[in-house]
Amino acid sequence: MPSFRADAFVFFGATGDLARGKIFPALAALAHSGQLDVPIVGVARSPMSIDEFRSRARSSLEAKGPVDENAWQALCRQLRYIDGDYRDPNTFAKLRKEIGDASHPLHYLAIPPSMFETVLEGLAKAGGTDGARVIVEKPFGRDLESARELNRTLHAHFPESSVFRIDHYLGKEAVQNLLYFRFANSFVEPLWNRTHIDSVQITMAEAFGVRGRGAFYDGVGTIRDVVQNHLLQVVSLLAMDAPIGSDAESMRSEKLRLFRAMRPLDPAQVVRGQFRGYRDEPGVAADSKVETFVALRLQIDTWRWAGVPFYIRAGKCLPVTATEVFVDLKTPPMSVFDPVSKARSNYFRFQLSPEVIVSIGARAKKPGEGMLGEDVELVATCCPENGGRSAYERLIGDALRGDSSLFTRDDTVEAAWRVVDPALRDDRPVLPYDPGSWGPAAAAKVVADGEPWHDPYPREQPASK
Q: Which residues participate in catalysis according to the annotation?
A: 230
Query: What residues does 353 pair with on adjacent strands?
Result: 323
Q: What residues from 139 to 158 belong to the interface with ligand NDP (CB under 6 A)? A: 139
Q: Does 126 bind ligand NDP (CB under 6 A)?
A: no
Q: Does 57 bind ligand NDP (CB under 6 A)?
A: no
Q: How far apart are CA 291 and CA 284, in angstroms?
A: 12
Q: Does 115 bind ligand NDP (CB under 6 A)?
A: yes
In whole angstroms, the minimum distance from the beta carbon of 298 to ligand NDP comes to 23
Stretch touching ligand NDP by CB under 6 A, among 14-22, 339-347, 371-379, 392-400: 14-22
Q: Does 16 bind ligand NDP (CB under 6 A)?
A: yes
Q: Quick one: 65 exposed, middle or buried, by C-beta within 10 A (0-12, 13-18, 19+)?
A: exposed
Q: What strand order describes the sheet that includes 310-315?
A: 373-384, 355-365, 347-353, 322-329, 197-205, 310-315, 293-298, 270-275, 431-433
Q: Does 13 bind ligand NDP (CB under 6 A)?
A: yes
In whole angstroms, the minimum distance from the beta carbon of 13 to ligand NDP comes to 4
Q: What residues from 66 to 95 belong to the interface with ligand NDP (CB under 6 A)? A: 85-87
Binder of ligand NDP out of 5, 112, 127, 247 (CB under 6 A): 112
Q: Which CB sits closer to ligand NDP, 23 or 261?
A: 23
In whole angstroms, the minimum distance from the beta carbon of 138 to ligand NDP comes to 5
Q: Which CB sits closer to ligand NDP, 5 or 125?
A: 125
Cβ distance 32 to 71 under 8 Å? Answer: yes
Stretch touching ligand NDP by CB under 6 A, among 7-15, 256-264, 384-392, 403-411: 7-15
Q: Which CB sits closer to ligand NDP, 14 or 446?
A: 14
Q: Does 212 bind ligand NDP (CB under 6 A)?
A: no
Q: Does 456 bind ligand NDP (CB under 6 A)?
A: no
* DSSP string for residues in 417-459: HHHHHHHHT--SPPEEE-TTSSS-GGGGGGSGGGPPP-PPSSS
> Identity (one letter) of the amino acid at 188?
V
- What 8-state DSSP symbol labels residue 300? B
Q: What are the percentages of helix, strand and coil residues in the chain, rounded to 5?
A: 40, 20, 40
In whole angstroms, the minimum distance from the beta carbon of 44 to ligand NDP comes to 4
H or E element that contains 399:
helix 391-401
Q: Does 46 bind ligand NDP (CB under 6 A)?
A: yes
Strands 355-365, 347-353: parallel, antiparallel or unpaired by DSSP? antiparallel
Q: Where are the alpha helices (DSSP H) in 214-357?
A: 214-218, 221-222, 232-239, 248-261
Binder of ligand NDP out of 10, 82, 111, 294 (CB under 6 A): 111
Query: What residues does 199 pair with on adjacent strands?
Result: 328
Stretch touching ligand NDP by CB under 6 A, among 107-115, 235-243, 323-331, 412-420: 107-115
Measured at CB, which residue is nearest to ligand NDP? 16
Q: How far apart are CA 44 and CA 21, in angstroms?
A: 16
Stretch touching ligand NDP by CB under 6 A, among 17-25, 187-195, 331-339, 425-433: 17-25
Q: Give the interface size with ligand NDP as a residue count (CB under 6 A).
A: 21
Q: Is the dihedral of CA 152, 153, 156, 157 positive or negative?
A: negative
In whole angstroms, the minimum distance from the beta carbon of 318 to ligand NDP comes to 19
Binder of ligand NDP out of 18, 256, 360, 444 (CB under 6 A): 18
Stretch touching ligand NDP by CB under 6 A, among 137-145, 156-164, 295-303, 402-410: 137-145
Query: What residues does 180 pair with on adjacent strands?
Result: none
Q: Does 52 bind ligand NDP (CB under 6 A)?
A: no
Stretch touching ligand NDP by CB under 6 A, among 8-16, 122-130, 148-156, 235-243: 8-16
3-state SS, residue 241: coil
Q: Phi/psi of residue 330, each to 5°?
A: -65, 155
In whole angstroms, the minimum distance from the beta carbon of 292 to ligand NDP comes to 17
In whole angstroms, the minimum distance from the beta carbon of 60 to ligand NDP comes to 12
Q: Which CB sits closer to ligand NDP, 15 or 35?
A: 15
Cβ distance 425 to 268 under 8 Å? Answer: no
Q: Which CB sits closer to ligand NDP, 115 or 362?
A: 115
Q: How far is residue 2 CA from its own chain's centroid?
A: 28
Cβ distance 315 to 223 under 8 Å? Answer: no
H or E element that contains 297:
strand 293-298
Q: Quick one: 181 exposed, middle or buried, by C-beta within 10 A (0-12, 13-18, 19+)?
A: middle
State the residues that interact with ligand NDP by CB under 6 A.
Answer: 13-18, 21, 44-46, 85-87, 110-113, 115, 137-139
